[in-house]
Structure 1
Amino acid sequence: MDCTFCSIVAGDLAADIVLDEPELLAFLDQRPVFKGHVLLVPRAHHATLPDLPATLRDPFLAAAQRIAAGVVEAYGATGSFVAINNVVSQSVPHLHLHVVPRTKGDGLRGFFWPRHKYADLEERAAYAARLRAALG
């Protein structure tokens, strides 16, 4: 199977990892809505949320909660936007949960998401390091 996220999990593709657990991995989105945008994936390939085994539901949601709190702490965000696409608008067919840092007046309206690029790989790595520190 040719899956970008499976390649990241396997270490075949580089990513800025912010959470590394036995069954889950979280890393910065390479095309972030806002800097610090995180993707949480199960290590095993499951295409959508309905495909996620019951044994992973609690660990997956617990990690999402930690990341949502972590982006507030790490980046001084006011809150976060958390979302999962299932098939429609799912650019990679591997379950992934988005955690996007938000601040009042940040310009995000509805589901029109302008992308904000990192200046370079060093800036992206610095964002990853800040969130890793916040997640402990």
Structure 2
Amino acid sequence: MARVGRVSECLFCRLGSGEIPADVVWETDRVLAFRDIDPQAPVHVLVIPREHHATLGALATSDPGLLGDVMAGAHAVARQEGLVGADGAEPGWRLVVNTGPAGGQVVHHVHLHVLGGRWMSWPPG
């Protein structure tokens, strides 16, 4: 099933429910944002839906409104962390979503990486 309220063995479901503590930087009743435990940039925050959706495609198909909430959460985090200027421009940030095994997804609960605080190179890898 693509959409499940909570999967008991899912790390991010457990973080989203508060069962496992996290360094929370932003949250709503549907979305949680917390600092990555292995940061790849000075700012590295993960944004997740509290409800379990394995991949970006699963979330987009079953609940596009929640996908919009997650995206809005990523922007709110970027603004809060000083990655978005008052005019919406400088200094900038990167949003990464790894989807599926070939895309590098390790935790199978959709999550967005908000990265910033340094210049990002291209291609990313």
Aligned residues: 108
Q: Secondary structure at the residue paired with 2:53? A: coil
User: What does the per-residue CA deviation read over 1:6-53, in whole Å, with 9 as the maximum and x for residues that have no partner?
Assistant: 111121212100111010000000001023200000000001111111
What is the TM-score with the length of structure 1 in the denominator? 0.70
Structure 1 counterpart of 2:69? 59
**Residue 22, structure 1, aligned to residue 29, structure 2:** yes
- Identity over aligned residues, as a percent? 33
1:90 maps to which of 81, 89, 105: 105
RMSD over aligned CA atoms reads: 2.1
CA contact (8 A) 2:52 2:109 kept: yes
Matching residue's letter, 2:91: T
The structure 1 segments of at least 4 consecutive aligned residues displaced by more than 3 Å after TM superposition are: none
Q: Secondary structure at the residue paired with 1:69? A: helix
Structure 1 counterpart of 2:10? 3
Residue 63 of structure 1: CA displacement?
A: 1.3
Residue 109 of structure 1: CA displacement?
A: 5.5
**Unmatched 5+ stretches in structure 1:** 113-136
Equivalent residues in 2 for 1:113-124 (5 A)?
none
Q: Secondary structure at the residue paired with 1:19? A: strand
**Unmatched 5+ stretches in structure 2:** 1-6, 85-89
User: What does the per-residue CA deviation read over 1:77-116, in whole Å, with 9 as the maximum and x for residues that have no partner?
Assistant: 8221111011131110000000011433x7x55335xxxx
